[in-house]
Amino acid sequence: MTVQAIVIDDSSAMRMILRRIVTKLGFEVDEAVDGRDALDKLNAAEQVPDVALIDWNMPEMNGLEFIQAVRSDPRYSRLTLLMVTTESEQSQIVRALAAGAHEYLIKPFTPDAVAEKLEILGLTAGV
Amino acid sequence: MTEAMTAALPSAPELAEIVDQVWASFLEGELIAVPEPDLARPYDGCLVAWVSIAGDWTGHLSVVCSDAAARAIATDMFQLDDSEVTTAEVADALGEIANMVGGSVKGMVGATAVLSLPQVVLDAAALVSPEARRLVTVQAHWKDELLEFSLWERQPGNGGGK
């Protein structure tokens, strides 16, 4: 069964980098430019993706707001949330996890670090 | 600014290390540090990307490089040929570099600091940042191009800085 990911970041460069890494891991990857775009895609999707890789600082709706919105909607209860951000302070990590993020990855990251986080989350595409 | 706050800001070697980490994670090729940065070098033909940090400490992290270097950054990140990469993609890639380096700096400054979205100006020579003074600069060569990373501190009434 295909494992699906959505990369949510206002930087097209970062979406490209994460798409490359996660595709190599065997995932099918969609993208969104911010939290609002991601919510619109989730609402329109036939199938909720397995994991969202979420930047924090984005216009329109930031990553924390997206996580809060998703966590309050039972339709997305099975969506795994991985925050991928430059925010590295302990207090920010606590905020994200308290809001509902399942894991946290700090930029800059290596492809191995992404793979490791997805494995910790129990998400492997068998590649 | 208190000594404690001063101590939280990265030194030149620490800023260089942050840059090295970003480079190693996302870009090909080695950065070769310039031992003594030339702070008076002209910015003609250069782009500048920056993020602002606001909170207990206020300032900017800027990245200055030639158009050729910025295009090389974008082609690496997007894995495109130089002929395929657009100005928007160049700006985005350079902005993301500033975002990641600035984010690491913000992590040193403290939990109350807020990082702005990155901004990019295609003519670095035209950029003046009044009320900011340069604290730390590192320069490095990459693919025969010079890159410059600077940390600027807000200093009201400074009279402008480059």
CB contacts of B22 in chain A (<8 Å) are: 108
Residues 6+ apart with CB under 8 A from B66: B45, B46, B47, B145, B146
B116 vs chain A: nearest CA distance in angstroms?
Answer: 8
* B12, containing H or E segment: helix B12-26
Q: Which amino acid, residue A2?
A: T
Per-residue model confidence as pLDDT tens digits over A82-91: 999 999 888 8
- Ramachandran region of residue A38, left (φ > 0), alpha (ψ -120 to 50) or beta? alpha
Per-residue model confidence as pLDDT tens digits over B106-127: 988 876 788 999 999 999 888 8
Q: What per-residue confidence (pLDDT) applies to B3?
A: 38
pLDDT at A126 over 70: no
A108 vs chain B: nearest CA distance in angstroms?
Answer: 6
Q: What per-residue confidence (pLDDT) applies to B158?
A: 52
The residue with tokens 């009279």 is B159
A80 vs chain B: nearest CA distance in angstroms?
Answer: 24
Q: How far apart are CA A34 and CA B82, in angstroms?
A: 27
- Between A25-29, A92-96, B121-125, the lowest mean confidence (pLDDT) is in B121-125
Q: What per-residue confidence (pLDDT) applies to B110?
A: 72
- The chain B residues in contact with chain A (CB within 8 A) are 21-22, 24-26, 74, 77-79, 88-89, 92-93, 95-96, 99-100, 102-104, 106-107, 110-111, 115, 117-118
H helix intervals, B27-116: 67-78, 87-109
- A16, A85, A92 ranked by CB distance to B78: nearest: A16
For residue B23, give the chain A residue with the closest CA.
Answer: A108
Q: Which amino acid, residue A39?
A: L
B134 vs chain A: nearest CA distance in angstroms?
Answer: 23
Report residue A2's pLDDT band, with 50, 70 and 90 as the boundaries.
confident
pLDDT at A38 over 60: yes
Q: What per-residue confidence (pLDDT) applies to B157?
A: 65
Q: How far apart are CA A41 and CA A49, in angstroms?
A: 10
What global pTM score does this model have? 0.88
Q: What per-residue confidence (pLDDT) applies to B111?
A: 63
Helix (H, G, I), strand (E, B) or coil at B58: coil
Q: What per-residue confidence (pLDDT) applies to B56?
A: 82
For residue A59, give the chain B residue with the closest CA.
Answer: B117
Residues 6+ apart with CB under 8 A from B135: B9, B59, B150, B151, B152, B153
Q: What per-residue confidence (pLDDT) applies to B75?
A: 95
Instruction: Give pLDDT < 70 ranges for chain B.
Output: 1-7, 111, 157-162
Strands B132-142 and B59-66: unpaired
Percentage of chain A beyond pLDDT 90 is: 91
Q: What per-residue confidence (pLDDT) applies to A34?
A: 97
Q: What per-residue confidence (pLDDT) applies to B162?
A: 52
Q: What ipTM was reported for this prediction?
A: 0.82
